[in-house]
Structure 1
């Protein structure tokens, strides 16, 4: 079993596992970061110029916000994958690795001799994760893909925004969803390997991730003939689920069931007969008559302040929220943080990963910080690989 890095948690459920990644930007690094968070040793292979996300901005001093967020707890080695000796070093690392994660451009891994079919033949216990834009065997397999492109292609933008203006989601959901799917797939493959002794090749496509997330509007279209419209900060198929204006601000209200609708009318609107109005009798009726419903709700909310309406919502056990700004999030009492050290030694407070009660994060590596040590560690295996190839 490979030795653990200093950043790997000895108590982590994946401690003792070695992950090799050739990834950049968001989707691949998020997957490998989750593995590092769980205690795996993650060696990140970078080209001489480094992961392109390192230079997106200088928000964190010595690195960008994106790179600092997604690369804690990893080691960095600089290698030239077109150099035979460096490629042999990669093979030596993979011969000891449990997981290999890559999100190179379409076809690049095959051209380098690091394609899934070749690697699974050479290293039967290795779990290989290919992160791509579109699935192999589809007409788009060779198409380059980035987050906003996939959001647009998958229909996300068609259901996001205002009636007049389609929009992308404000964060990189295609990348984040894909990286999360990849992490889950790795955990499943590790469990499967415990039973069978064999690794496997895993393909995780960004388009697949977004297409699945589009299941609700797609099913409505395919089986009801309903094309989901864009309603801004209002739900398209559950109602009322939107912000309402008070005298001093807005409150988002969510009604998810008939019982909540009845309580909302009685305790919040104080119009109990409204719950029996045929236009609003069930959720689908409320969706179809949203304009009339909004007029009735706003007539109650607008004259009153947020504090009074929140008190009514609480009394009626109705879910509500404010529309927070970034400042509001930064000081939110529910926000829990971890402290992460950047390559230049800066300490940065980041949101704590959900479901992981860690007190602090690990260090983000400087470009090539571990190159010498990693080259020395795997040199013998690399020499053997080079000799066998010759």
Structure 2
């Protein structure tokens, strides 16, 4: 079967993670992605490390399946070349600073004026207007501004999220917005100007906690081991020293856990724990009871009881454990990619669309497709 985006041409003036990850997923779906890079070393993410087949891990992750061309946008010849590429493109994506993009005439609304059927997408830190529009923004800066840092960590110390969550959230909204705009264009012929703010994208993801704070006047308490608004939902140790995540999402599940796992059915309707608000109000006492019950039985029996009671339980894995995860192996989730310095294994894209398989592809060398 035809790849979902076969024949769609993407031109991207991009660097770092947010825009490259969005366009990599478009390449995963079959689009031709032309990555326009600066002559002075290209995308700076190329130079983070050399851990993956001699290449930067972040660059391999976010740029496989693309073509690379070097264009000097400070020269007339370079601008003419980029204009020619854009004229033949279905989609244009950029994450330059707002001022630089505007001066170059590369903002989405500027391109839509010149090319009425193009789907053009800006990704910026704070948006194109407002008092912070010109501020530089990387992932951890936006994690801080969107509240993610203050929602993560211990009561005594906030912490960054361990993945590039601000970049990834912007990439996912760029991907979905572009796909929606392409669908509309297919029906109506209209192009689109898309303007995404990393701050707004990540704030959407922190909204439940932000809305709770707005309603109550207090930010949810931080905990490194538990959910701030649902209980019991957190990490517990088993008798063999392993740490697992146990998640109860409803009063019915709590009653099932009280009876089938803790062997104390009376706790299911105990006024201290009967509803989620009650369990949150008495969370320390609740978790002490659960920890004591789990410590008193073998780890295998604890897992068996949790699964028999249909309570969600998950192993807490480090990244190396994830690489060797039995589920990934059983579902053949790894694929080879080639680079100019070797071959690496990566995870397949998670789309799993019938008739289309992620074959890995190639990570382009700088200006390889000039």
Say whether 1:341 aligns with 2:337.
yes
1:291 aligns with 2:298: no
TM-score normalised by the chain length of structure 1? 0.90
| Residue aligning to 1:6 | none
In the alignment, which residue of structure 2 is the partner of 1:206?
198
Tell me by how many angstroms 1:334 deviates. Answer: 1.3
1:234 aligns with 2:226: yes
The 1:359/1:195 distance shift into structure 2, 3 A limit, reads: closer
**CA distance in structure 2 between the aligned counterparts of 1:185 and 1:65, rounded to whole angstroms:** 26
Cα displacement string for residues 289-320 of structure 1 (whole angstroms, at most 9, x for unaligned residues) = 00111111111111323211001111211110
Q: 1:134 aligns with which of 126, 129, 133?
A: 126
Instruction: Tell me the distance in 1 between the aligned counterparts of 2:335 and 2:350.
Output: 15
1:43 equivalent to 2:34? Answer yes
Partner of 1:369: 368
- For 1:147-162, list aligned pairs within 5 A: 147-162=139-154
**In structure 2, distance between residues paired with 1:162 and 1:319:** 24
- Give the 3-state SS of the residue equivalent to 1:334 in structure 2: helix
Contact 1:19 1:97 in 2 (8 A): yes
Q: Which moved more, 1:218-227 or 1:29-38?
A: 218-227
Structure 2 portions without partners, runs of 5+: none
Cα contact 1:68–1:342 (8 A) shared by 2:
no
Q: Residues 217-239 of structure 1, C-alpha deviation per residue, up to 9 Å, x if partnerless?
A: 11111223342110112100010
Unaligned runs of 5+ in 1: 1-9, 372-390
Give the distance between the partners of 2:342 and 2:270, measured in 1 at CA. 60
Deviation, structure 1 residue 139: 1.5
Aligned mate of 1:13, from 4, 14, 17: 4
Q: Is the 8 A contact 2:119 2:193 kept in 1?
A: yes
Structure 1 residue runs of 4 or more that deviate by more than 3 Å after TM superposition: none
For residues 290 and 106 of structure 2, the distance between their equivalents in structure 1, rounded to whole angstroms, comes to 60
Partner SS state of residue 327, structure 2 = coil
Quickly say closer, same or farther: Cα 1:51–1:272, change in 2 above 3 A: same
Alpha carbon RMSD of aligned pairs, Å?
A: 1.4
2:48 to 49, 56, 77: 56
TM-score for the superposition, normalised by structure 2: 0.95
* Alpha-carbon shift at residue 350 of structure 1 (Å): 1.1
Aligned length: 362
Deviations 1:156-215 (A, max 9, x none): 111111111100110000001100110100011111112321211100110001111111
> Contact (CA 8 Å) 2:337, 2:346: kept in 1 or not?
no
Residue 123 of structure 2 contacts residue 198 of structure 2 at CA under 8 Å; is this kept in 1?
Answer: yes
